[in-house]
Structure 1
Amino acid sequence: MINSVCGIRSTGRICTDLAQALEAQGHTVKIAYGREQVPEQYQKYAVRIGTDLDVWIAGAEARLLDNAGFSNRKATEKFIEWVKEYDPDVIHLHNLHGYYINVEVLFKYLKTCDKKIIWTLHDCWAFTGHSAYCDAINCTRWESGCDNYSQKGYYPKSYVDQSKRNWRRKKDLFNNVPDMTIVTPSHWLEGLVKESFLKDYPVDVIHNGIDTTKFYPLKNDFREFYHLEDKYILLGVATSWDKMKGLEDFVKLSDLLDNSYKIVLVGLTDKQIKKLPKKILGIKRTNSVKELAYIYSAADLFLNLTYSDTYPTVNLESVKCGTSVLTYDTGGSTETVEEFGGYVVPQGDLKGVVEKIKEVKKESPEKQENDMRPTNIDKIDYHTAVKNYLKVYGVDSHHTESVPNAKPPILSGGVRRS
């Protein structure tokens, strides 16, 4: 697998969940990643592409040249040599943006490697000229070509606009890869792919899943610890917070609610926490699943005020911990509500959010529990996603023998085996 991170954040945890399930069936798995730290329990899978310096240089080039995805040539070439030695049966791509890999070098190899290729899209970056979040402003210029880009201030940030050039380069590179299947986590993103220059590839929808053995209602002292015993807790969780994830909307929402409510946001930086109004409790990012389960369980209602999302696992985690979800009608976020219950409000309608919160607060716990449709909870488990991926891989889900592979060598100058 290839992804920007390994074992952390939503995409990194999807990779390691999948890796653990595959390994349990006897398969050999490695996860090539580009940045940040890998939790100890996942080190056995991890193979790093490049270095921190490579990421920093690529990020600077992206700002100055608007060339995200087209730096890191030497690190990627060394990584491709490692892949040839490892000789996998399947190459599973995830997030290729993140300033760590050169997609030109990668796809030239993919077109000639005679391997089965799976590409899971977690956002829109693959078929746009720049943005991962074109849906946030309902931009559809990617259908025929990108130009006059209006989201230069958002990831991947750039001071110039080369979206037209990038769109053409991606279209040329990403097409005509033999035996490649695209996977999307939602029907919403599937629809966008079928309108893009990737439309000739087969597309399968495999919803994201979570480890249901780790997320479940837990009695805890979260309320007592933060002196919130008499508060109605509204929870938001994200791996990183910005305007796109709804941070500004949460701040505005705090002014619209009285003191009987308390907004709790998880995943903030120290700088962001210092700027929060008193009505919001800010908690730093945690990679502890148990800590997250405690917080989900303590909340009264989970709010997902995102402006861009494909099929958020935070919604699933909250529902599994017994807390209902209220989301904007954004991307694939509404599909989780359609499947597992909850509430949907038009994007940006904070007055509607307040009205729905008050309505839910008045409902009995029994009605909220029924609205979550617990009979469908089993579909949340990531093992369901694993079984579906095995079908895409062309692997028998009952296979238990190891697939022989060459041992990965230790490479200097950018790729290391962990």
Structure 2
Amino acid sequence: MKILQINACYNRGSTGRMVKEMHQFFLSNGHDSYIFVPSYYGNDERIFNIGCKFDYLWHSLMSKITGLQGYFSIVSTLLLLRKISKIKPDIVHLHNLHNNYINLPFLFRYLKKNNVATVITMHDFWFMTGHCCYFTSDNCMKWQKDCGKCPAINTYNNSWFFDNSSWLRKKKEVYFTDLKRLAVIGNSEWTTQEAAKSFLKKAFILDNVYNWINTDIFYPRNKKECREKYNFKLSEFIILGVSQCWSILKGLDVIESLAKRNPSYHFVLIGEIHDQRLFPDNMTVVGLVRHADILSEYYSLSDVYINPSVQETFGLVTAEAISCGLPVIANNVTAIPELVLEGCGYVVENNNIKQIEQKLSIMKHEKRNREQMHKLAGSVFGKKNIGKYVSLYTRLLVND
């Protein structure tokens, strides 16, 4: 089977790591695998670049001026399609396309004309809305029938002048419903249920496959050794939070409030924080951690993982924490509750500070079997989930 993936990055962030691991899995299981991404600098002959830095900057600028994300990069997309024609893939798997690097009309016209079996993974909700990637923070459900007057028009791929969200959603509906062999895959049950409320419900396959983690990396390490390595006291009660980039939507204010109210606890945050405010003395900001082994050590040295985010289609770091034997406290919103496996933590209502504090007080005295948590995480979030995609590809190819 020839499988071709398109994504906004390779081996960076959660989607980039997924694409890499899928590529390696496919090759090791006898499939032909190809990847197209912008800004690839490696030496894998099966991975191809889309466009260049100038093309990205031009697309970004025009997107902000016109409000049309995915309607530029014409030349780079034509070159991409020429290479796809030579490869002649059985499956084209689309991940994140909203990063100023591809022309949607040209891409979908090609997929329709050649009746290419197409899979999309819903890493967010951009495929089914007119602009936004997440709708929960604005409590906006207009995408179910139409968009327009978008409350998120000034966030992420923001438009400076025009709100074209209604027109863009209509065009996406045409692009996707025109594909006869389309599989829409949510990375959680909740994501798939939300997709079923949109025009994507018309896809030939609508299913969910959980994201996966590398349990050979994310496993319980020696807590004492990890704390000594990173200069934390063994007597401290450490609460960890991890995000690519911290913001209000990711729960930064919640953690700051908890730190101020609970000075005896030590809160450790991993990820970028662009806000230059002064945090309480019992908050340690580590910054972005790019190496999985180091991240695993931070999970292992902590006592509780907290996920105060209000918008997640999956929540990879929550699964990683559980795999490292770290119990979690998470919001009862979006896909997050699905990840809190039995015996692995607690769910609270909408960042209720008092509920979180009650759970922290309980967890401070609880003892859990870290190895058992690791085994449970592997059974639900293990790499076997990649194999489920191969099964979905096979189902899709039967519909020829």
Query: Above 0.5 in TM-score?
Result: yes
Equivalent residue number for residue 401 of structure 1: none
Deviation at 1:375, TM superposition (A): 5.5
Q: Deviations along 1:232-289, whole A, 9 cap, x unmatched?
A: 111111222222222232223222222x2111111215x4477544332112222211
Q: Could you tell which deviates more after superposition, 249-258 or 21-30?
A: 249-258
Q: Does 1:251 align with 2:268?
A: no
Match of 2:25 in 1: 21
Number of residue pairs matched by the alignment: 387
Q: Alpha-carbon deviation of 1:178?
A: 2.1
Q: Share of identical aligned residues, percent?
A: 27
Q: What residue ranges of structure 1 are gaps of 5+ in the alignment? A: 396-418
Cα shift readout 1:21-67 (whole Å, capped 9, x = no counterpart): 111112221221135x66x5x84553221112222222222322221
- Who is 1:378 aligned against? 378
Give the counterpart of 2:216 among 205, 213, 217: 213
Q: Does 1:242 align with 2:243?
A: no
Letter of the structure 2 residue corresponding to residue 322 of structure 1: G
Once residues 219 and 27 of structure 1 are traced to their aligned partners in structure 2, the CA distance between those partners, rounded to angstroms, is 38
**CA deviation map 1:327-382 (0-9, x unaligned):** 1122111111146732111123223222222221132x13x759x75663332454
Question: SS of the residue aligned with 1:110?
Answer: helix
Query: CA 1:223 to 1:369, structure 2 compared with 1: closer, same or farther past 3 Å?
Result: closer
Range that drifts further, 354-363 or 79-88: 354-363
Distance 1:83 1:17 in 2: 21
CA distance in 1, matches of 2:343, 2:157: 33
Aligned partner of 1:161 in structure 2 is 163
Once the two structures are superposed, the pairs formed by residues 53-68 of structure 1 within 5 Å of their partners are 53-68=54-69
Asked if 1:347 is matched to 2:325, the reply is no
209-218 or 223-232: bigger deviation = 223-232
Q: Is this contact kept in 2: 1:2–1:33, CA < 8 A?
A: yes
Q: Distance in 1 between matches of 2:29 and 2:131?
A: 39
Give the TM-score normalised by structure 2.
0.90
Q: CA RMSD in A?
A: 2.2
Which residue of 266, 269, 283 maps to 2:270? 266
Distance 1:63 1:230, change over 3 A: farther
TM superposition shift of 1:303: 0.9
Partner of 2:388: 388
Provide the residue aligned with 1:99 in structure 2. Answer: 100
Q: How does 1:12-411 map to 2 (within 5 A)?
A: 12-35=16-39, 43-159=44-160, 160-201=162-203, 202-219=205-222, 221-224=225-228, 225-258=230-263, 260-268=264-272, 271-272=274-275, 275-338=278-341, 341-363=344-366, 365-366=367-368, 376-394=376-394
- State yes or no: 1:4 paired with 2:44: no
Unaligned runs of 5+ in 2: 396-400
TM-score in terms of structure 1 length: 0.86
C-alpha contact (below 8 Å) 2:325/2:373 kept by paired residues: no
